[in-house]
Structure 1
Amino acid sequence: MYKWVSIIASVLFFMGVSTVSAENGDDTKPSVLLVHSLENQGQMKEVRMLDALLGQFTDDITLTTDDKLQEKEVNSYSHLFYYGGVPKQLSKSTISVLNNYQGKIYAAGHNVDQFSQRFSFLEWEGETLINSDVTLAGAESMTLPEERIVYDIRKGDKATVAAKSEDVPLVVHSGGDYYFSGETFSPPFGQVITESLAAFFEKDNKSLVKYLRLEDVDPLSDPNQLQSQAEYLAEMNVPYMVSLIPVHTNEEGETVHLSDSPELIDTLQYMQDNGASIVLHGYKHQYRRSETGEGFEFWDVENDRPIYQPSSEDAKTKSDFKTDQAYQSYMKEAATFEKQYIEEVVTKGIQELTDHNLYPLAFEAPHYAMSQQGYDVVSDHFSSYVGQLQLTNNTWKGQYAPPYESQPSFLHGMTVYPETLGYIEKGEQASFDRMDEEIGQRSTLTKSYLSAFYHPYLGLEGLKKVVQNLEAVDDSTWLDLKEQNNTVSAGDLNITSDNGQIKVDNTKVASEHERSIFRKEILKYAAFPLGILIIVILYVARKALNRKKEN
C-alpha cells in the first residue's frame, strides 16, 4: 500500500531573491498610465497585448480611456502610453493633458497627430500597406505573416528610426518620446515594441532566458520513459518543468488517479528532486467526456465561451430568453458557476498533487484556454502562470505570448513565463526547423524567452535535439522555476519556493479523493481485528449472562 502520509524533512528557506531576469543597476519600478481610445470592448484584445508588453518592465500599470484622462493625476506616473485603437476626435482637455505631460510618452496607432505639439518631430502622410520583413538595429529581420496597415510617417532631422519595413518607419523616437505607426501588436510587432520599450524604460540590458516543459504528463504516462528523460536532463544539468495532470479520464468517464500509479509517483518525485519543477496542468484536462490531454477544462470549446453550465446541461444563449433582464440574470448566475467550478478544480489539483509530495509551483490552463475571470480565480492560488494567454472572452483562438516574462494587470499579480517556440510534432522534421528558425530570430533580441514544450511520449532522441538546439544559444540562461519566488495556496495548504528550495506549510492528506481512499484502507485493515473484538465482546457478554441465570 502506498504511504499516504509522509514526513517531510525541514529545509532552510533563504530570504534572498535570485531571478534570471534581474535588471541592470536601476531598481526603480516604472509606474505606467495606459490610455486607450477604442470603439468597443471587442478591441480590448489589443490593449491586453499592450498590457502584457508593458508588464515585461513593470507591474504598476493603470488602464484608462481617453475621455477619463483629465480625471487622472497623470504627472504622478513616470511613463504614459497612448494607444489609438480607432480614429476619433480627442477632446481639447485630453490633447492638452497629453501635450503637457511631464514624463515620457510612447504613442501608437491613430490620433497622435492631434497632439502634434508633443510629436512635432513627425509628419503623417496617411496609411500604407507593408508586406516586407521588419528590421531592427542589431537584430535579425523578422517576417510578417500577412500584410499590415501602418501610418506612413516622415521624421524630423533630430528623430531616430528604431524599426522599419523597407523604407517605411515603424518606430521613431526623439527626446525620450516614442511613436509606433502600427495598429496591432501581434507578432512580430510585439517584439518590435519590446525592443523599443527596453530603451523607453532605460532597461536595455541583454537577457535571453530558455525553458523546457515536458507536457501532458498524467497517471497513464510511462514511468520508464520519463525516468530515462529525467536522467538525461539531470546529466545535462538542465532545469525543466513537468506539466502534470493529476487525473486521467476517457470518453466513458473512467478515471485513473496518481494513487493508482505508484511507480509513476516515484519517478515524478525523482524528477522533482533532480531539476524538475511541477506545473499544475488542470485537474482532468477535460470538461466534457473526452480523453485527457485532448479536451479543454476551463473553456466550453463547443460553444467557444467560458464554462457557464455543468457539462451535462445544454448551453443557453440570448435567444433562449424573452427579455434582456432575464438574460442578464442568467449571465450573472453563469459567471458565479464558472468561478465556483474553477475554484473547485484548481483546489483539487493542488491538494491531490501535494498528497504525493509533488508540489506545483505554477499553473498552465489546458490548451492555454481560460476566461478573464478564470485568471482572476487562479491568481488567488498561484503567483506564476506558464504558457500563452487568452486575451478575450470572445474566443479561445489567437492566444498571445509576450516575448519576455511579464506581469500584465489582467493577471492580477501573476507572472507569466511565456512559451514562445511551440512544440515538436511527431515525425516532423519541419517542426524542428521552425523551432530553429524562431530561436535564431529571437536570440538576437535584447529581451526574449526561448521556451518550448515537448511531449515525453515522442521519446528521448527528439528531446535531445530540442535541448541541443537551446544549449547552443550563446549568453543565455536556463529558467529554474524553483529559483523564482513562487507562492501557491489551497485552503490551509501553502507552498512557497525561492533560491531552489520548496517549503510546504501543511503536509497532511488534503484531497477528498485521497481521504476517501485512506478511510477505505483503514476500514479494510481494521475489519478483521474489529470483527474479533466484537466476537470477544459477545462471548464475554454471553458468559456473564449465563452465570447470572445460574445464580
Structure 2
Amino acid sequence: MLLAGSFAFGSAPSPAPAPLKKVLILYDSAGESGWRGKLYGICLQNLLGHFQVAIESKAVENYLEGEMERFDVIFYIGAVYENKLPEPFKKDALKTDKTVCWLGHNLWQIAWGEDKKPAGKFENRFGFRFGGNSNSAYNLVLYRGYAFTRRSVNPGLGLVTLTDTGLARELATCLCSEPHSETPYIVRGRNFWYVADVPFAYVTMSDRYLVFADLLHDVLEIDHERKLRALVRIEDVHGLASPEKLVEIADLLRAEGVPFSVAVIPVFQDPRGVYNYRQPQTIPLSRNKKLVSALKYMVERGGEIVLHGYTHQWRDQPNPKSGVSAEDYEFFRVRLDAGGRQVLEGPVPEDSLEWVGERVGKALLELKSAGLSPVAWETPHYLASELDNRYFGRYFKLMVHRGIYFVDDGGTLRFSNQFFPYPIETDYYGQRIAPENLYCYAASAYMGEPPSTVPAMLYQARLNQAVRDGWASFFFHWYQDIRVLKELVRGLKNMGYEFVTLGSLAN
C-alpha cells in the first residue's frame, strides 16, 4: 500500500526543535526606589537574550498564586530593601520544584520565621542559612580562580552559611579586605539559587557582574561551547580622517591575521567652524575620493563597514560639547552641568519614526554613493530614545555598541549603561548586539570613564576568560598610535582569543 506525501527515501525526518524554556522575571517596584527593580529587570532580560528562552517580566507585587508553575526558571530581583512581598509568592518560592534564582534583598521573608530568626524549614530544604545583611566593604568576588571587583559603596550584602553541603554548594565567594572576612556570594541549594546582591548595581568592567553572566548558563541549564573570541573596531572615521593612517591600520591587521570593522560617519559636520577658522564645514564621505579609496582598501584587507550614525552630532549647536561630528550626540539631548558632567535631558525635539528613518536613509544613501555597505549599526555615543532603538533593531540585523536603557521615575529619567561579555540575540529593544566590553584605549579619562590603558584592557580581557563563551571586544580611534593597537591585538591573541568577523554575528 502506497501513501501519498513528500517522503524522501534514505532520510530521516528532521527532529522537532526543543521547546523554549520559559523564564519569569519578578522585580520590586514599590516605594521611592521602585524604579531600580524595573531597570534591573531590563538588564537581566538583556543578559537572558544570550539564550534561547521565552521571557515574561512583571512587578513582584502583581504576582498571582501558582503563577511560577507555568515557568521553568523564576528570577526575583530584590532591589528594594524590606519591600513587603506577596504571601502567594513567598509560599510558592518555598514549595516549588522549579528553578528559583533570588537576587539581592528580602530573603529573610522566606528564610526566617515570624520571630525574624532563621527557620528550619528553609534551611532543611535548601541546605543554607540566611544571616541578615552586612554593610561591610566586601570588595572582591572570587570565582574560578579569578578575582572580580565589587564596589565597596554597594550596600547590603546578604550573609549566608552552608549548613548541609550535600544539598548546597558555594559557587562564588565574596571577600572583605579590612577587616578580613569572607562569605558566599552565590549559593545553590537544590533548585534554589541565591545571589548576595543585585549584580546590575554599581557595575564596572572588572565586576562580579561577569560571574553572574557566566553562571546564567547553569541556572538555565543551557550550556555553550567554551571558546574565546575577539572583535576590534576602528572608530569614528569621517571626512577628515587620514587615508594614510587607515591604510597603515589595514596593513597591520592584515599582517596579524585579524579581521576588523570600521565605524564610518557618512557626513562630517562642523557647523560653527570650531576646527575650520569659524567657517562652517560639511564633508560628505563620497566627495573625499582618497578617503573612499582607503576605506575600500580596508575592506579588501579584511575590514567590514559599520554605519555610525549620519552626522554623529545634532543641528548647529553643542550637544553637549562642540556641535562637531564624532564629539557630540546625534539622537539625544545632553548638556553639561556646572561641574562639566553630562546630564541626559531626553530625546531630541524632532524625534519620531519619520525623523529617525530619514536620518538612517540619508546615511545609507551616502554610504552607497561611496560604494560601501554596512554589516552593522553603531548608535553615536550609544545613546538614543527607546523609539529610535526599536527602529534600529527592526532595520539592522546587528548592532555593535553598549546598550543604554531607561525607566521613567516620576518624570526623572533613570538609566543603565550595560555592556555584554557575549553576543545578545535579542535585547529589551529587540536588537541583536555584538559585545563591546573592553571599551577603548584612552590614556586619559574619556566620555566620563577613567583612563583605559593597555594593561587595564588586557586585565579585563583576562577576567572575561572566566565566562565560558566570553568575548574580548574593543574599539580603537583611527588617529591613535598604531603601536598601541598592535600591542592590544597581540596581547589578546596570546591569551587565546581568536579574532572573528563582525559579520559572522549577523547571520
Question: Is the shorter-chain TM-score for this pair beyond 0.5, marking a shared fold?
Answer: yes
SS at match of 2:152: coil
1:432: how far off?
A: 1.4
The residue that corresponds to 2:493 in the other structure is 471
Instruction: In structure 1, give the amino acid aligned to 2:346.
Output: P
Residues 453-503 of structure 1 show CA distances to partners (whole Å, capped at 9, x for unaligned) of: 1011114222211211111112x332312223x3xxxxxxxxxxx4xxxxx
What's the C-alpha RMSD, in Å, of the aligned pairs?
Answer: 2.6
The residue that corresponds to 2:135 in the other structure is 129
Task: Check if 1:104 corresponds to 2:110.
Answer: no
- In structure 2, the CA distance between the partners of 1:132 and 1:92, relative to structure 1 (3 Å rule), is closer
The residue that corresponds to 1:229 in the other structure is 249
The residue that corresponds to 1:362 in the other structure is 376
- In structure 2, the CA distance between the partners of 1:398 and 1:90, relative to structure 1 (3 Å rule), is closer
- In structure 2, the CA distance between the partners of 1:92 and 1:219, relative to structure 1 (3 Å rule), is same
Greater relative contact order structure (CA < 8 Å, 6+ sep): 1
TM-score, normalization by structure 1 = 0.73
SS at match of 1:105: strand
Q: Is the 8 A contact 2:65 2:89 kept in 1?
A: no
Using the alignment, how far apart are the partners of 1:397 and 1:292 within structure 2?
A: 24
Task: Check if 1:270 corresponds to 2:297.
Answer: yes
- In structure 2, the CA distance between the partners of 1:247 and 1:79, relative to structure 1 (3 Å rule), is same
Correspondent of 2:471 among 444, 449, 457: 449
The residue that corresponds to 1:247 in the other structure is 267
Q: Is the 8 A contact 2:97 2:191 kept in 1?
A: no
The residue that corresponds to 1:165 in the other structure is 174
Q: Is the 8 A contact 1:211 1:478 kept in 2?
A: yes
- In structure 2, the CA distance between the partners of 1:445 and 1:456, relative to structure 1 (3 Å rule), is same
Instruction: In structure 2, give the amino acid aligned to 1:160.
Output: R
1:439: how far off?
A: 1.9
1:446: how far off?
A: 2.2
Correspondent of 2:240 among 201, 206, 220: 220
- Structure with a larger share of its residues in helix: 1
Using the alignment, how far apart are the partners of 1:78 and 1:41 within structure 2?
A: 26
1:389-408 equivalence runs, <5 A: 389-392=403-406, 399-408=417-426
Q: Is the 8 A contact 2:171 2:188 kept in 1?
A: yes
SS at match of 1:296: coil
Using the alignment, how far apart are the partners of 1:235 and 1:216 within structure 2?
A: 23
TM-score, normalization by structure 2 = 0.79
The residue that corresponds to 2:286 in the other structure is 259
Percent identity, aligned pairs only, is 23
- Structure with a larger share of its residues in strand: 2
Using the alignment, how far apart are the partners of 1:72 and 1:416 within structure 2?
A: 35
Q: Is the 8 A contact 2:63 2:86 kept in 1?
A: no
Q: Is the 8 A contact 1:272 1:358 kept in 2?
A: no
* Count of residues paired in the alignment: 433
Instruction: In structure 1, give the amino acid aligned to 2:439.
Output: G
Using the alignment, how far apart are the partners of 1:183 and 1:109 within structure 2?
A: 5
Q: Is the 8 A contact 1:213 1:454 kept in 2?
A: yes
Using the alignment, how far apart are the partners of 2:66 and 2:255 within structure 1?
A: 55
- Structure 1: gaps (5+ residues): 1-25, 311-336, 487-497, 499-551
Q: Is the 8 A contact 1:139 1:445 kept in 2?
A: no
Using the alignment, how far apart are the partners of 1:469 and 1:163 within structure 2?
A: 28
Using the alignment, how far apart are the partners of 1:130 and 1:371 within structure 2?
A: 38
Q: Is the 8 A contact 1:130 1:165 kept in 2?
A: no
- In structure 2, the CA distance between the partners of 1:139 and 1:348, relative to structure 1 (3 Å rule), is farther
Using the alignment, how far apart are the partners of 2:353 and 2:53 within structure 1?
A: 25
SS at match of 2:160: strand
Correspondent of 2:387 among 369, 373, 390: 373
Using the alignment, how far apart are the partners of 1:192 and 1:179 within structure 2?
A: 13
The residue that corresponds to 2:319 in the other structure is none
- In structure 2, the CA distance between the partners of 1:268 and 1:351, relative to structure 1 (3 Å rule), is same
Using the alignment, how far apart are the partners of 1:395 and 1:465 within structure 2?
A: 40
- In structure 2, the CA distance between the partners of 1:31 and 1:477, relative to structure 1 (3 Å rule), is farther
The residue that corresponds to 1:481 in the other structure is 502
Task: Check if 1:95 corresponds to 2:67.
Answer: no
Q: Who wins on radius of gyration, i.e. which is larger? A: 1
Which is further off, 125-134 or 286-295?
A: 125-134
- In structure 2, the CA distance between the partners of 1:97 and 1:43, relative to structure 1 (3 Å rule), is closer
Q: Is the 8 A contact 1:31 1:58 kept in 2?
A: no
Q: Is the 8 A contact 1:216 1:245 kept in 2?
A: yes
Task: Check if 1:282 corresponds to 2:282.
Answer: no
Q: Is the 8 A contact 2:309 2:380 kept in 1?
A: yes
Instruction: In structure 2, give the amino acid aligned to 1:281.
Output: H
Residues 495-543 of structure 1 show CA distances to partners (whole Å, capped at 9, x for unaligned) of: xxx4xxxxxxxxxxxxxxxxxxxxxxxxxxxxxxxxxxxxxxxxxxxxx
- In structure 2, the CA distance between the partners of 1:210 and 1:162, relative to structure 1 (3 Å rule), is same
Q: Is the 8 A contact 1:133 1:141 kept in 2?
A: no
Using the alignment, how far apart are the partners of 1:27 and 1:141 within structure 2?
A: 37
Instruction: In structure 1, give the amino acid aligned to 2:260.
Output: Y
The residue that corresponds to 1:419 in the other structure is 436
The residue that corresponds to 1:330 in the other structure is none
The residue that corresponds to 1:67 in the other structure is 61
Instruction: After the TM superposition, list the runs of 4 or more consecutive aligned residues in structure 1 that deviate by more than 6 angstroms.
Output: 427-430
Q: Is the 8 A contact 1:406 1:417 kept in 2?
A: yes
- In structure 2, the CA distance between the partners of 1:95 and 1:398, relative to structure 1 (3 Å rule), is closer
